[in-house]
Amino acid sequence: MPLQHLAYISVAAPGIGQADIERILEQSRRNNASRDISGHLQCHGGLFFQILEGPGTALDELLARLGNDPRHADMRLLFREPLQRRQFADWSMGYGPCVAGDAGTHAAERLRRLRDTAPCGTQRALNLFLSLMTEADA
């Protein structure tokens, strides 16, 4: 089954906290490992930013579940396209950064700008995703 990857940005439901995120990660890791899905989740100032990689049918099924999940809303797909080689192969679901406060607000502004232009193109979305990861490491 050919691989695809996609990214979306969504708005976390009011009151979503660390315990909810832990639960999301636990569900994601369990399900994704058994469905050959890999990926990474970030959150910034109340926005989720997720990259998913895997067989197209598994991604379709996951998108349907995500679309019905009340823990977030207003999912905006940034790109979806065929993938040669996974970027997050080591992760059934990697996590972070997850930033609140001023830094989170600043990153969320960047996400909002990207989201407003969705579908924004693969490279632009990946560049922002990777640069937010790198900035958090710095």
The reply to whether 48 sits near ligand FMN by the rule CB under 6 A is yes
Smallest gap from Cβ 28 to ligand FMN, in A, equals 3
Number of chain positions touching ligand FMN (CB under 6 A): 16
Kindly state the smallest distance separating residue 53's Cβ from ligand FMN, in Å.
10
Residues 85-114 as x/- pattern, contact with ligand FMN by CB under 6 A: --------x---------------------
DSSP the chain: --EEEEEEEEEEPTT--HHHHHHHHHHHHHHHHHHT-EEEEEEETTEEEEEEEEEHHHHHHHHHHHHT-TTEEEEEEEEEEE-SS-SSTT-SSEEEEEE-HHHHHHHHHHHHHHHHT-S--HHHHHHHHHHHHHHHH-
Q: Give the shortest CB-29-to-ligand FMN separation in angstroms.
A: 8
Any residues with CB less than 8 A from the CB of 65 and at least 6 apart, and which? none
Report the nearest approach of ligand FMN to the CB of residue 32 (Å): 5
Among residues 66 and 77, whose Cβ is nearest to ligand FMN? Answer: 66
Structure tokens at 108: 């969320």
Stretch touching ligand FMN by CB under 6 A, among 68-76, 82-90, 106-114, 116-124: 68-76
Q: Which residues bind ligand FMN (CB under 6 A)?
A: 24, 27-28, 31-32, 39, 41, 48, 50, 62, 65-66, 69, 71-72, 93
